[in-house]
């Protein structure tokens, strides 16, 4: 492009259209020109906690996130919503500006979706106008983003029933009918279904979300990458907890992404004692259409039976640890680590956890 500025270029293309640039911040972020009427209307766009959630999910989707984690907590009338994703992130200089009106990175991608127009630069501003606090807890370009919102449910209402999971039924014409209160988890489920081809959504408490991210990191990073990671900011945000050396480090990393918890909770997550949040699509069970008699056409399904707890003898446990010790010794020398260490074994209902202490050679 020649000396014509981005602002002048957009004005030339859009003429008197509403998507015109007032200020260019760099890194793809601009402030759009909009009317005062649009600005005032934006403050009315957020009417409940569920509205906050859907706007944050849409933002994460537009940031090309493949995994979106929604952590929810409530103390009295204070609702805290934290969204962590692995999208394109927000430059540090923009962390505060994104909550100002008409600031967006979607200059030429404003579009309509199932929830209306998106890309006006008003979503985060609307949230900030109605919330007690709003902040980008942490974000780096191409590594994802963590946004935390706190609101007062006395001023910004939400459905009284936040515990019910919605039910889904397939109609005769192939449409999915959703039943249940229009609570946070329902709007998240509707979003997950609508955007199923582009992203996965996880919903739970901060501890459940941390457990899910910990499992994701363990599944996608090699053991070497987890142990010898020198800078967690080089990893996508949902993978970072897997590099934790101990519960104290786990808690520190979790809190840095807006997931507040105690060191005891961190230990329970690392020990596999807290169930991880599952992808909403994995939790959704769509019922088949009913026949004229009102009975389901599907064959009855057996109720899954919980697997009995594994009872491992001391001899077998010792043998397993011995094999792990030998395997570790083979690679320890290459990394200047002490090969003569004693792995420990813990047995859970659905997994075996073997811990190998890492000791640097003196």
Residue 39's pLDDT is what? 54
Query: Using 50, 70 and 90 to split pLDDT, how confident is the model at 2?
Result: low
CA torsion sign, 16 to 19 to 25 to 27?
A: negative
Residue 345's pLDDT is what? 86
Mean pLDDT computed over 157-174:
90
Residue with tokens 């609307």: 126
Q: How far apart are CA 198 and CA 192, in angstroms?
A: 9
Residue 87's pLDDT is what? 95
Residue 109's pLDDT is what? 53
Residue pair 236/143 in contact by the 8 Å Cβ criterion: yes
Q: How many Cα atoms are found within 13 Å in the side-chain-facing hemisphere of 100? A: 13
Please state whether 142 falls in left (phi above 0), alpha (psi between -120 and 50) or beta.
Answer: left
Taking the model in full, what pTM does it have? 0.72
Instruction: Please provide the average confidence, as pLDDT, over all residues in the chain.
Output: 83
What is the token pair recorded at 198? Answer: 């582009």
Q: How far apart are CA 254 and CA 248, in angstroms?
A: 10
What is the token pair recorded at 175? Answer: 């449409």
Q: How far apart are CA 343 and CA 325, in angstroms?
A: 6
% residues pLDDT > 90 (the chain): 52
Return the higher-pLDDT residue of 14 and 321. 321
Return the higher-pLDDT residue of 301 and 124. 124
Query: Using 50, 70 and 90 to split pLDDT, how confident is the model at 160?
Result: very high
Mean pLDDT computed over 310-326:
85
Distances (CA, A) of 99 to 124, 130, 251, 299: 5, 12, 28, 51
CA torsion sign, 265 to 267 to 268 to 274?
A: positive
Mean pLDDT computed over 274-285:
92
Q: Can you give the residue ranges of every domain in the chain?
A: 6-205, 208-276, 314-355
Mean pLDDT computed over 151-171:
93
Query: Using 50, 70 and 90 to split pLDDT, how confident is the model at 271?
Result: very high
Convert 225-240 to b/e letters by CB count within 10 Å (16 or more is b).
Answer: ebeebeebeebbbbbb
Residue 318 has pLDDT above 50, yes or no: yes
Residue pair 201/188 in contact by the 8 Å Cβ criterion: yes
Residue 89 has pLDDT above 90, yes or no: yes
Q: Is the CATH number of domain 6-205 3.30.565?
A: yes
Residue with tokens 């649009």: 38
């Amino acid at each position: 492009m020649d000396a014509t500025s981005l602002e002048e270029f957009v004005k030339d293309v859009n003429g008197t259209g509403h998507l015109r640039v007032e200020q260019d911040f760099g890194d793809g972020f601009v402030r759009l020109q909009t009317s005062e009427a649009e600005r005032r209307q934006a403050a009315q766009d957020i009417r409940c906690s569920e509205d906050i959630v859907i706007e944050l999910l849409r933002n994460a989707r537009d940031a090309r996130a493949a995994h979106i984690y929604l952590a929810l907590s409530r103390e009295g009338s204070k609702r805290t919503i934290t969204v962590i994703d692995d999208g394109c992130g927000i430059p540090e200089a923009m962390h505060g500006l994104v909550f100002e009106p008409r600031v967006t990175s979607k200059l030429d991608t404003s579009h309509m979706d199932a929830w209306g127009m998106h890309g006006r630069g008003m979503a985060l501003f609307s949230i900030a106008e109605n919330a007690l606090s709003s902040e980008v807890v942490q974000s780096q370009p191409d590594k994802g983003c963590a946004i935390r919102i706190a609101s007062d449910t006395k001023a910004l209402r939400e459905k009284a029933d936040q515990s019910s999971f919605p039910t889904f039924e397939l109609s005769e014409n192939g449409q999915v009918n959703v039943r249940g209160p229009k609570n946070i988890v329902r709007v998240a489920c509707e979003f997950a279904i609508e955007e199923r081809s582009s992203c996965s959504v996880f919903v739970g408490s901060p501890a459940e979300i941390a457990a899910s991210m910990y499992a994701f990191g363990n599944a996608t990073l090699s053991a070497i990458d987890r142990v010898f990671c020198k800078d967690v900011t080089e990893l996508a945000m949902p993978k970072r907890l897997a590099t934790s050396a101990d519960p104290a480090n786990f808690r520190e990393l979790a809190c840095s992404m807006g997931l507040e918890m105690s060191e005891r909770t961190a230990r329970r997550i690392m020990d596999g004692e807290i169930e991880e949040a599952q992808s909403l699509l994995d939790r959704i069970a769509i019922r088949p259409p009913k026949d004229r008699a009102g009975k389901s056409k599907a064959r009855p399904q057996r109720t899954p039976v919980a697997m009995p707890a594994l009872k491992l003898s001391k001899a077998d446990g010792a043998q397993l640890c011995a094999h792990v010790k030998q395997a570790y010794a083979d690679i320890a020398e290459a990394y200047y680590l002490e090969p003569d260490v004693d792995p420990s074994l813990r047995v859970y209902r659905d997994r075996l956890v073997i811990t190998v202490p890492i000791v640097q050679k003196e």
